[in-house]
Structure 1
Amino acid sequence: MRKVIAAINMTLDGVFDHTAGIPDTEIHHHYTELLNQSGVILYGSTTYQLMEFWKTFLEKPSAEKAMNEFAAAIDKIPKIVFSNSLKNLDWNTATLANIDLKETVLALKKNTGKDILIGSRSLIMQLTELNLIDEYQICVYPVIQGNGSTLFENLNQSVILKLIKTKIFTGGSIILYYQPAVE
Structure 2
Amino acid sequence: MRKVIAAINMTIDGVCDHTAGLPDEEIHQHYADLLDSAEIILYGRTTYQLMQYWQTLIKNPSGEKTTDDFAIAIDKIQKIVFSHRLKNTDWDSAKLATKPIEELVRELKQQSGKDILVGSRSLITQLMKLNLIDEYQLCVHPVIAGNGLPLFENVNDRTIFKLTKTKNFINGAITLYYEPTK
State the TM-score, normalizing by the size of structure 1. 0.98
Partner residue, 1:152: 152
Partner residue, 2:177: 177
Identity, in percent, stands at 63
Question: Contact conserved, 1:129 with 1:156, CA < 8 A, in 2?
Answer: no
* 1:135 aligned onto 2:135: yes
> 1:13, 1:48 → 2: CA distance?
23
* 1:69 aligned onto 2:69: yes
* 1:47 aligned onto 2:43: no
Number of matched residues? 182
One-letter code of the match for 1:7?
A: A
One-letter code of the match for 1:167?
A: K
> 2:123, 2:158 → 1: CA distance?
17
One-letter code of the match for 2:112?
A: T
> 1:28, 1:39 → 2: CA distance?
18
Secondary structure of 1:157's aligned partner: coil
- Residue by residue over 1:59-89, the C-alpha shift from the partner in whole angstroms, topping out at 9 and shown as x without a partner, is 1110211000000000000000000000111
One-letter code of the match for 1:28?
A: H
Aligned Cα root-mean-square deviation (Å): 0.6
Structure 1, unaligned runs of 5 or more: none
- Greater CA deviation, 27-36 or 150-159? 150-159
State the TM-score, normalizing by the size of structure 2. 0.99
Secondary structure of 2:32's aligned partner: helix
> 2:102, 2:4 → 1: CA distance?
12
* 1:16 aligned onto 2:16: yes
> 1:89, 1:49 → 2: CA distance?
9
Hey, which bits of structure 1, 4+ residues long, moved more than 6 A? Answer: none
Structure 2, unaligned runs of 5 or more: none
